[in-house]
Amino acid sequence: MPNLALVTGANKGIGLEIVRQLAAKDWRVFLTGRSRSQVMDAAASLGPSVTPIVLDVTSISSIESAFRTVSQETDHLDVLVNNAAIADDDDGSVFDLPAERLHRMFETNTIGPLLMIQAFLPLLRSSQSGRIINVSSGAGQLSELGTWAPAYSISKTALNGVTNQFASALTGENIPVNSVCPGWVRTDMGGSDAPRSVEQGADTIVWLATEAPQSMTGQFVKDRKAIPW
């Protein structure tokens, strides 16, 4: 049986590239996103090993529906990649950061991954080598934290906290949990001036999913190496 992964926010950008690379390694992948048409088109472009699922990580009912869909297809999940994210405050200031913007950012970037892990843990626990990968950002790195995009940065710092919490809570269960900084990547979010391709952005995530030591957990990883939080 092929290895099985689920990737959120996978209809474009880094998420789509993660799915493409995993499928090229003969994995079966559940490609998820909010837009039905985009998810269907993306999956169709990658072949029969990719299964599209409409999923909004800010909706508990949508997460539960996705879990039921996956559970009908398999009794386990080897890798969960929490990639879905939003960023819309790059020109904002923390001095006048609207609470609504912070709430919206946290719903997708922080709470969504937490709820996804909670929901899919039964399937991950049924795998012989389950892995959880949270796609974070250098913007959330405390050791380098600046003033750019405060809501986005704070939400990614908090996501790293989610990673640490689950890594500690799952100690002894052989389910590593890590955060990844993909770098500044040329996507709709990163813009055309970014120095990294989507292939480069996806590389460490795919490495963590397929090759990294199972003992590597509770780390913030960039370019296949642990970096400071």
Catalytic positions, written as ranges: 152, 156
Spatial contact of 52 and 29, defined as CB atoms under 8 Å apart:
no
Specify the amino acid at residue 125: R
Tokens of residue 46, six digits: 């990658």
Which of 49, 219, 122, 229 is CA-nearest to residue 7? 49
Taking the C-alpha atoms of residue 135 and residue 40, their distance in angstroms, rounded to an integer, is: 23
Taking the C-alpha atoms of residue 48 and residue 60, their distance in angstroms, rounded to an integer, is: 28
Please give the distance of CA 116 from its chain centroid, rounded to a whole number: 10
Q: Would you say how long the chain is, in residues? A: 229
**Residue 90 φ then ψ, to 5°:** -65, -20
Q: Given phi > 0 = left and psi -120 to 50 = alpha, else beta, which region is 9?
A: left
